[in-house]
Structure formats: C-alpha cells, structure tokens
Amino acid sequence: MKRTYIITLLFSLCSLFMYAQDSRFDKFADMEEVTSVYISKAMLSLMPDMQTEGVNIGSIASKLDNIRILSCDKPAIIDKMKKEFAFINSKNGYEELMRIKDKGEETTIYLKQDKNKKKEFVLMTGEKNEFTVIIITGDLTLKEIQGIVNKE
C-alpha cells in the first residue's frame, strides 16, 4: 500500500513539474514585449518536408511533441526570464550538453530525459540585449537534433 502512495506521489510531482514549466512559458508568452512561438505535434505532422533557411525539421517532425520558443530584447524582462529559467540545471535533472561563449554571446544546451524516454532539449542563448529560450520535446536523439541543421 505504501508503494502505491509513493508511486502516485512521484507521478503527481512529475506532472506538477511539467505544468510549472508550461506556466513559465505561458507567463512570458503573453507579454507584449516577448516574441513567442509554440508549434504543436499536430502542426509538425502537417509539415513532413519542412525546411527553411537551412533548418530541416521535417526529417524528425514525427518524433517531436512540440517546440516552444521565447525571445526578448528588453533588459528588465530578460532579467526576469533568466531568473525564471534558472531552475534548468543539474540539480533539477538537466544535463548540460554544451556551452559556448563567443564575443559576448553565451549559449547553453541542456537535456532532460524522463522514464518513458521522452527528452527535453533546452537551448538558452543570451547576449547583452537579447535572451532566447528554445525548448524541443520529443522522443529523439542528440544526433537527430544535430541533424536538423544541414551542413551545406
């Protein structure tokens, strides 16, 4: 009986965590000064050959659950976004895959995988006057994520 309660509690906490992240996205997506994009699984399935500006999402569209993007160039909101998304770190189950610093721009890519092999790739990039968060969720590999960008 205790085991059932523990399992139920764990599932509740996992769903609460996912809801918390969605609410963070929604909080900023509704702001006038923030550019936001949400692409659902249904929309991705309608574009199996989607390729634009050297980016080929069509090759893995069937494996994606969604893509969420937030971008802002207002310093006050950038500070709020950075604080809200600071939970994305190793203490909360995210693995840092890559970090790049180049001429005032810093980009970090994180990965979080749940027990069902669903993965969440988070790319955060910031400059002095711009901050962008891209969250890609689905059942895909890092190699497939890298393959999105054509090497022409």
- Residues across the chain: 152
Per-residue pLDDT tens, the chain, 152 aa: give them.
333 333 333 333 333 334 335 677 888 888 888 999 998 888 887 776 666 555 566 667 778 888 899 999 999 999 999 998 989 988 989 999 889 998 889 999 899 988 777 888 899 999 988 999 999 888 877 777 666 644 44
Neighbour-count burial of 81, counting CB atoms closer than 10 A to its CB (0-12 exposed, 13-18 middle, 19+ buried): buried
The SS3 of residue 57 is coil
Asked if residues 150 and 116 have their Cβ atoms less than 8 Å apart, the reply is no
Q: List b or e across 101-137, with b for residues whose CB sees 16 or more CB atoms inside 10 angstroms.
A: eeeeeeebbbbbeeeeeebbbbbbbbeeeebbbbbbb
Pairing of strands 105-113, 95-102: antiparallel
Q: DSSP alpha helices (H): ranges in the chain?
A: 2-29, 41-45, 75-84, 142-147
pTM for this predicted structure: 0.75
Inter-CA distances, 63 with 43, 59, 138, Å: 13, 9, 6
- Name the amino acid, one letter, at 126: G
Q: Which pLDDT tens digit goes with each residue over 67-83?
A: 899 999 999 999 999 99
Best CA proximity match to 114, nearest among 3, 17, 9: 17
Confidence (pLDDT) at 119? 87
